[in-house]
Amino acid sequence: MALDDADLDGLVSAAAAVLDDAAKPFVAGHRADSAVQKKGNDFATEVDLAIERQVVAALESTTGIGVHGEEFGGADLKSHLVWVLDPIDGTFNYAAGLPTAGILLGLLREGEPVAGLTWLPFTGQRYTAVVGGPLRVNGIEQPRLERTNLDDAVVGSGSFNIDSRGRFPGAYRVAFLEKLSQRCSRMRMHGATGVDFAYAAAGVLGAAISFGHHVWDHAAGVALVRAAGGVVTDLAGQEWTIESQSALAGSPGVHGELLEVFASIGDPGDYR
């Protein structure tokens, strides 16, 4: 099935109604306890599981398109069309009672993000976009991102453990933040990738940095940022794909300056 932009708009409208319904149990379950222990110190709540089941069933029924969710997996990410769902982005924030948590839903076509929806129920913000733009917040069209400078920007960064030895070790992240602080003193660590990407798409943040690789954290936000006129690559400057091991999203000027900062601190492997 070939889809034009009008079809994408219709799918986003249908998905928006599904997420509006899901926002009700999302708000009701705030501060839910951990239910499922995952790799490392990650976890899921019962609300994560319930919302994923609810959204998957509703999307498949109303759009006829399969869903790949964070908690249960599902449809092949390389399908012609597939929804990618994170039922609660910022689970630690959600369980702690913080408002920086949301529902992320991206639509991939042949592995490429073509639409994105990010719902932040505690702040009443609904971000939507289809490929080609514009970005809309609560249905209102937003201006395209303008070129801005790093020293004038607020930058959202992923969190870290100094002792971590993963793909981007804690020491590497500290080295980056040290260099960044010399160029930009306005750094924020919200602990929710999708929140950061939505803010970057809207120009609230000049850029958002993710040291993670999970497609459900990125797909919706990539669509939003690109639709708004921003740039999304990995931390090495390669165009973001569903196989990318990191993500850097932002306005054209800030994005380019941040790539320079990453290049200046060398290879992540040197910090293990």
pLDDT digits (tens, 9 = 90+) for 228-251: 999 999 999 999 999 999 999 999
Q: Where do we find the tokens 């790093």? A: 150
Say if residues 87 and 110 touch (Cβ distance below 8 Å). no
**Domains along the chain with CATH numbers:** 8-141 (3.30.540.10), 150-270 (3.40.190.80)
Does residue 108 register a pLDDT over 50?
A: yes
Say if residues 91 and 216 touch (Cβ distance below 8 Å). no
List, as residue ranges, the binding site for Mg(2+): 70, 86, 88-89, 217
Provide the pLDDT for residue 41. 43
Provide the pLDDT for residue 4. 55
DSSP string, 125-148: EEEEEETT---EETTEEPPPPPP-
CA dist 72 and 101 (Å) reads 20
Provide the pLDDT for residue 39. 47
pLDDT digits (tens, 9 = 90+) for 182-224: 999 799 999 999 999 999 999 999 999 999 999 999 999 999 9
**Amino acid making up residue 138:** N
Say if residues 87 and 48 touch (Cβ distance below 8 Å). yes
Provide the pLDDT for residue 43. 43
Question: What mean pLDDT is predicted for residues 106-112?
Answer: 96
Provide the pLDDT for residue 68. 97
Does residue 267 register a pLDDT over 90?
A: yes
Question: What mean pLDDT is predicted for residues 117-138?
Answer: 97
pLDDT digits (tens, 9 = 90+) for 148-175: 999 999 999 998 889 888 899 999 999 9
CA dist 172 and 160 (Å) reads 10
Crossing angle for the helix pair 170-183 and 252-264, to the nearest 10 degrees: 130
DSSP class of residue 70? T
Provide the pLDDT for residue 37. 47
Provide the pLDDT for residue 5. 54
Say if residues 225 and 254 touch (Cβ distance below 8 Å). no
pLDDT digits (tens, 9 = 90+) for 23-74: 999 998 887 665 444 544 444 667 878 899 999 999 999 999 999 999 889 9
The angle subtended at Cα 34 by Cα 28 and Cα 38, nearest 5°, is 130
DSSP class of residue 150? G
Does residue 114 register a pLDDT over 80?
A: yes
Does residue 96 register a pLDDT over 90?
A: no
CA dist 52 and 165 (Å) reads 31
CA dist 68 and 75 (Å) reads 5
- Output the pTM of the full model: 0.93
List, as residue ranges, the binding site: 70, 86, 88-89, 217
Provide the pLDDT for residue 89. 95
